[in-house]
Each structure stands twice: as C-alpha cells, then as structure tokens.
Structure 1
C-alpha cells in the first residue's frame, strides 16, 4: 500500500508539472497608424506583430485595444494600459515611460495637393507663404517646426488630416511617407493622384514600444521585451515579419 500511495503521488505531481504554463497577458493601447499597425491590418500590422512575437519569446501574450493617439498616450501614461504601441521619443514622455529598443524608423515628409505650387526649403517658408498645416493631436511636432508658429489645425487621426488636405482646408500634412501613401491609396482612393509627397525629407524618426512607469511590472517587462526583440533580430524572424506584413518598407 505505501508503494501504491507513493506511485499515485508521483503521478499526480507529474500531471501538475506537465500542465501547460499559462502565459502572462498584458493589454497595450494603440492608435491606427497605417501601414504599420491598425486593427484591420493582417496580424494588426507589422509593428504589432514584432511586439507580439518578441513578447511571446519571453512567455508574455499581448492584447491590443485601438483608439485615437491622444487617448492612447494619456491612458497608457496613467497605467490604464501597461503601455503604448508605438511612439516617437521625447524627453517629456521619457519621464513617464520606459522606452524599448527601436522597432522601426519613420521617414517623415510633407504631403501637399499636386495642383498647388509649394516650394519648401525650411520651416520659415511655411510662415512666409502663410501655409496651414494639418497636425494629428498628440503627435510630437517635427524638430524646429513649432518654433516658427505656423498656422495649423489639430485633428484626431492621420486619415482626417489627409482628407482636410485634399479638400483644401490645410496646405501641408507632415507624415511618414509610407503612412501617407497607404492612406491615400487604401483609405482615400477618391483623392488618388491629387496628393503627393515633396522633398526634402524632414526627419528619420524611430518608433518605440512605451511601457508606463506607473505600472510596477513595466521595467522588468521592458527588459524581457528587449531580450525578445534581440532574439527576433538574430534569428531572422524580424526581417521575415517585415517582408510578409510590410513589403513596402523592405523596398523603401
């Protein structure tokens, strides 16, 4: 009998040991930033998938809730969500968030109406030509842009900014080049051929995952995420995700 009891205890402990470990699940906030991340993109976009797979390598699952950027930033800062997919760097934000290693870099340009002759060499031209800008609320302004105080209108989304540009309510929209090209082709096809990117390029801006410093798990989670991201790069899976979900970026 003692041997039977010992065997049963061994089988029970083995059964418990073999049970799958339940992954930790965290919820992140996100805006819709085409073609990089959005609710209706395959796998919710390449940047979402990079973050998802990097965390999975560390035993963490993510759930993403999509909303306008200003709300996503505010609610993440308050730790209503663990963090934010994704954002650019600023010293002010770094007071409230841990920043990941860079995920991808945005190539920032101005978009204008093709029929409107605009010559841009520096931000002083915006004021001299009395040009109006469409800016997404919550986005960081381009370096040096707001020092010249150009006329501008704030909107909630990139799509709204491009629609206002097409309708002549603003004259320029600063945006990532792929973001603008995607929105015009896929979301606003009625304006295809009417809007274009202009030179020179304004900035190259890295995107990061942000985790709220108000969440006690955030610092350790960020370390795990960075480890997972590095593993993605070493294995080649990082490049595979870009090739599958963001082929335009690979060719860019």
Structure 2
C-alpha cells in the first residue's frame, strides 16, 4: 500500500513538472521585456504556444549573458529567443522559428546614402552595440579592420551618436529600433533619421531548451506543435502586426 502511494505521488509530481517550464528572458522591446504587456510579443507567442500543449511558462528576467548561461547549464529549462548557430545546436534543442529579426542601417536624412555590399560601407563611420552579431560579412570585415566600427554599450547610445553626427550609420533591428525611437526620442529627432531598405541581415529567432534537462527533447516537439497551431490560428501574424502598425520615423 505504501509503495503504491509513493508511486502515485512520484507520478503526479512528474506530470506536474512536465506541465510547466522555467525559461529565462531579457530586455529587447517590443519583442521581450519584463514590464511589457505579455512580456513582449515573442514571449507571448512562446507562452501561448506552450499553453496550447498544456504547458505553463514561468519567466525569469536576467541580463542576456546570464540568461543564456543558466539555460546552457540546465539551471533553467531554456531561454527565449535566440539566433541559431552550430554551438547553440550542440548545447540546446532549438525550436522552429518564433519571430524574424531584420537588421537595417539607420542614417541621417541629410546623408545621401545607398549600399548593396559590405564594401560600400568601408569609408563610413559605424556605431555598433557590444556583443551583437551583425552577420558573417560584417563581422569578418570588422575583425579584418576593413570597417570603421565603434562598439558602444547599448542601442540608445548608437542612436545618440548618429544624431550627434559622430557616426554615419547604426545597424539595428528595424522593429526594435522604431520602438526605441518612439520611446526615447522626440518627434523632431525621429524626423532627422531614415533607414535604408536593404537589410544588413535577416534571421529567425528561436526558443532554446537545454540538452542538460531530461525531457527537453520531447518538450521542444510539444512546443513546435503548439507553435504550428498558433500560426494556423492567425494569432502569430496578428500579434506581429500589432507591434508594427505604429512604426514610423515621423510623428
């Protein structure tokens, strides 16, 4: 009788654990953010995709490097949302694409600017944010000293440097950049900036679940099923449209 009771408790505990997942997160409005509605649109997509599979998400917000390391070590189940690369594939189960990120070059309207390849950027001063990967071609040219790049602490500094005329270009995810400009800059400042239509890089962002956590291989499959259901319902497209509707560099 005691053995049966113990087995029942263990099974219930295992089922309960399987129905919740602890994920790390960070600040990248409007996609991610502790104090944003639904913790940002990417967090909302992740949480609702899991909910369709009966899994509740417990979010924790940390600096990005810490968020990734905690998930990598299996101290948390995973982290949202990240680029796919070979190193992360070794350490994590990587989901189907959650959202797409497109980096574009912001510049002042007073500069007559056009480009098609990295070589076109060699004579221009470029602000970039520390720790960001702007694509293989950009990273290689920067490392080789072929580009004039100054790495700054955060994205807002990049826009400040651009407006002050200290740099000529600043690469930024367009959705994130427009959101930041509307939150931290005046209409007059926004009106001085433009963004080139040719993307510097365009990539998908994914949920990562640690390979150190037992059961995560099955959990990523459940998440992908939920994500597919959410896309088919039209809600993913709706949520992404909601954050893009107000994007403009004018008033």
Give the shorter-chain TM-score range: 0.7 to 0.9
Match of 2:19 in 1: 24
Match of 1:76 in 2: 71
CA distance in 2 between counterparts of 1:109 and 1:179 reads 11
Match of 2:38 in 1: 43
Are the counterparts in 1 of residues 103 and 134 from structure 2 also a CA contact under 8 Å?
no
Deviations 1:161-210 (A, max 9, x none): 33343344543222221111111112333732233211322232111111
Deviations 1:85-105 (A, max 9, x none): 101221222111211111121
CA distance in 2 between counterparts of 1:30 and 1:167 reads 32
Match of 1:57 in 2: 52
Where do 4+ consecutive residues of structure 1 move more than 6 Å? none
| Consecutive unaligned residues in structure 2, runs of 5 or more | 1-11
| TM-score normalised by the chain length of structure 1 | 0.78
Larger Rg: 1
| TM-score normalised by the chain length of structure 2 | 0.78
Kindly indicate whether residue 127 of structure 2 is the aligned counterpart of residue 133 of structure 1: yes
Match of 1:182 in 2: 179
Match of 2:225 in 1: 227
Match of 1:194 in 2: 192
Structure 1 residue 236, shift from structure 2 partner = 3.2
Match of 2:139 in 1: 146
* Cα 1:125–1:235 shift into 2, 3 Å: closer
Deviates more, 1:35-44 or 1:149-158: 149-158
CA distance in 1 between counterparts of 2:217 and 2:66 reads 22
CA distance in 1 between counterparts of 2:66 and 2:110 reads 35
Structure 1 residue 23, shift from structure 2 partner = 7.5
Question: Aligned residue pairs: how many?
Answer: 228
CA distance in 2 between counterparts of 1:74 and 1:163 reads 31
| Consecutive unaligned residues in structure 1, runs of 5 or more | 1-16
Kindly indicate whether residue 105 of structure 2 is the aligned counterpart of residue 110 of structure 1: yes
Counterpart secondary structure, 1:200: coil
Structure 1 residue 109, shift from structure 2 partner = 0.8
* Cα 1:214–1:140 shift into 2, 3 Å: farther
* Cα 1:114–1:45 shift into 2, 3 Å: same
* Cα 1:247–1:187 shift into 2, 3 Å: same
CA distance in 2 between counterparts of 1:221 and 1:232 reads 16
CA distance in 1 between counterparts of 2:180 and 2:28 reads 9
Are the counterparts in 1 of residues 134 and 201 from structure 2 also a CA contact under 8 Å?
no
CA distance in 1 between counterparts of 2:40 and 2:68 reads 19
CA distance in 1 between counterparts of 2:103 and 2:157 reads 18
Which residue of 211, 216, 221 corresponds with 2:209? 211
Are the counterparts in 2 of residues 242 and 249 from structure 1 also a CA contact under 8 Å?
no
CA distance in 2 between counterparts of 1:157 and 1:214 reads 31
CA distance in 2 between counterparts of 1:176 and 1:199 reads 12
CA distance in 1 between counterparts of 2:164 and 2:76 reads 36
